[in-house]
Structure 1
Amino acid sequence: MGLFALLLIGLAGWLIWTGRLQRMSAKDGMALGAALVGAVMAAKGKPLIGAPLLVGATLFFFTKSQPGSKRSSKPVPQATSPQAVIDARKLLGVGPDADALAIRAAHRRLIASVHPDRGGTEALAAQINAARDLLIKEAAHRP
């Protein structure tokens, strides 16, 4: 069990080092913390305390990863309104006749200046990415 605890601590360190921990929700962090505490307790010879924490965290992450679960974080497809397309064009600065290449080029120019790694916000980068996806989908359906 001590090796398992070290592996979990190593996993947490790796998540922090690579920045993946920033994209975790508070519930994910709490479940990871419970798993770490459970592994340490089990390694110290207290499996009655550690095992339920480990099992609970495992079940949390397992149910979250299932496609049909309520906790799944997959986006729900929405119908595109004409106003959403207009707003996306304004955000990327492309005209109504822009093709996929022009949309991607405008996206690259804009995201380079507002990317979270360069001081921008994740919310704005997500809006720009969503606008690109919407316009490319809309351009593919245009005659």
Structure 2
Amino acid sequence: MGALALLLAGLAIWLIWTGRLQRMTAKDGMALGAALVGAVLAAKGKPVIGAPLLIGAAFFFVKQGNAKSRPGKRPAVPPRADEVARARALLGVAPDADAKAIRAAHRRLIASVHPDKGGTEALAAQINAARDLLLADQKQR
């Protein structure tokens, strides 16, 4: 059980190091914490308390993996015309712009307003959302 505790601690360190922990939800973090506490308790000679925590966390992650692999239940909703028009105005592209032109306009605009260059995260998020919306709209045509 001590090896399992070290393995889980190594997993947590790897998740932090690679930046994957930033994309985890609060539930994922709590399940990872429960698994670590369960492994430590089991390693310290209290498997009656530690084992349920480990098993519960394992079931949680298996359930999460299965839920992410299933296709979404809701069909894709086509973007509204006014949303598409606002996105085109924000990126400054013509109504007949292709995917290459949309991506080029996005790159040009995001380079000047990126948070690393002194811009705001909110504006960068709007520009990214506009690009995604226009590309999705183009795929539906």
Shared fold per TM-score greater than 0.5: yes
Q: Which residue of the partner structure matches residue 27 of structure 1?
A: 27
Count of matched residue positions in the alignment of Structure 1 and Structure 2: 141
Q: CA deviation at 1:118?
A: 5.9
Q: Which residue of the partner structure matches residue 66 of structure 1?
A: 66
Q: CA deviation at 1:119?
A: 6.6
- Write out aligned runs for 1:47-126 (5 A): 47-67=47-67, 77-115=76-114, 125-126=124-125
Q: CA deviation at 1:35?
A: 0.6
Unaligned 5+ runs, structure 1: none
Calculate the TM-score normalised by the size of structure 2.
0.80
CA RMSD, Structure 1 to Structure 2 (Å): 3.1
Q: Distance in 1 between matches of 2:109 and 2:74?
A: 23
Q: Which residue of the partner structure matches residue 46 of structure 1?
A: 46
Q: Distance in 1 between matches of 2:121 and 2:72?
A: 17
Amino acid at match of 2:138: A
Q: Distance in 1 between matches of 2:124 and 2:13?
A: 26
Q: CA deviation at 1:111?
A: 3.4
Q: CA deviation at 1:126?
A: 4.8
Q: CA deviation at 1:46?
A: 0.9
Question: Could you give the per-residue CA deviations for residues 73-115 of structure 1, whole angstroms, max 9, x where no partner exists?
Answer: 9997323111221122133222212111110111222334455
Unaligned 5+ runs, structure 2: none
Q: Distance in 2 between matches of 1:16 and 1:68?
A: 21
1:7 and 2:4 aligned: no
Q: Distance in 2 between matches of 1:25 and 1:121?
A: 24
Go from structure 1 to structure 2 and tell me whether the alpha carbon gap of 1:104 and 1:59 turns closer, same or farther (over 3 Å shift): same
Q: Distance in 2 between matches of 1:77 and 1:83?
A: 17
Relative to structure 2, which stretch is displaced further, 121-130 or 54-63?
A: 121-130
Aligned-partner SS, 1:66: helix
Aligned-partner SS, 2:56: helix
Q: Distance in 1 between matches of 2:115 and 2:72?
A: 21
Calculate the TM-score normalised by the size of structure 1.
0.79
